[in-house]
Amino acid sequence: MTFASFEPGGLGRHSEDVVMDFAQVLRDVGLWADAHGIQVRQRPLKPDQAGRFDGVSVTLNGGYGAEELAYYLAHALGSIALWSLSRDAVQRLFDELRSAKADRADAARRERAIEAYRAFEVESSEFAVWLLAKLGRSGAIPPYTNFMRADLEALTEFHRTGTAPAWREFLARWNEEVVAGRREVPPFPRKAIPPFTPVAIEPQEIIQKQG
C-alpha cells in the first residue's frame, strides 16, 4: 500500500512517499497476538465500529482497510496488556470515567477522569510502537503516531461533549493543521510490554464515527 506525504485526509503523514505493506503489518501484529494467547479475527461489524476486544480476543471490522486495522490492533494489544497487568486499577479508571461524565455538577472531576483516561491511552500507544519496532515494522510508527494522536483527541472530544466527531472530517482537518505547522504530533516513547497473561475484561468498543 502506498500513501503520499501531506495528503489531506490521508491516514498517516510522512516526510516522503513510502511503500508500506500494511496487510503484512496486520498479519505480523496478529501473529504476535496469537503467540501471546489473544485471538484475532475479522468480522462484518457496523460501520461506526472499527472493532472490539475483551482481553482474550480482538474482533476487527472486515470492512476497514489493512492500514487502519493494523493501527487499531496494535493499540488494542497495548490496552490488553495494561488491563492484564493491572486489571482492577484499569477497571476503576473506566468506572470513574463513566461516573464522572454522569456527574454534571463537577466539571473538575470529569476533567481529572478524562486525563487519567488519556494517560491510559498514551501508555497503550507506547506499548504499541514498541511492538511495531520489535516486529521490524518501525516504518509504520510515524503514521501510527499521527493516526492515534488524532484518535485520542477525537475520543477526548467525545468524552467531554458526549458527541464524537465524524472521523474522516476530523482526521482531514488534523492532517491539514499538521501540514500547515499549526499542530505538532509528539512521538510516543517506546515502552516494552512486560510478560503478561491475558485476562477476560468487559468488552471494549473501538469506535470510528462515520460522517
DSSP one-letter code for 64: S
Q: How far apart are the first and last CA of the chain?
A: 24
The pLDDT assigned to 211 comes to 79
- Contacts of 194 by beta carbon, 8 Å cutoff, 6+ apart: 81, 85
Strand partners for 25:
none
From CA 84, how far away is CA 36, in angstroms rounded?
Answer: 12
String of DSSP letters for 185-197:
-PPPPP-PPPP--
Interval 131-185: pLDDT, tens: 999 999 999 999 999 999 999 999 999 999 999 999 999 999 999 999 999 999 9
Where do the structural domains in the chain lie, given as residue ranges?
A: 2-207
From CA 112, how far away is CA 114, in angstroms rounded?
Answer: 5
Within its chain, how far is the Cα of 198 from the centroid? 18
- Contacts of 159 by beta carbon, 8 Å cutoff, 6+ apart: 97, 101, 114, 117
What are the φ/ψ torsions at residue 39 (nearest 5 degrees)?
-80, 135
- Looking at residue 11, its amino acid is L
Which residues in the chain come in under a pLDDT of 50? 1-9, 14-17
The pLDDT assigned to 11 comes to 67
Within its chain, how far is the Cα of 88 from the centroid? 21
pTM of the model: 0.92
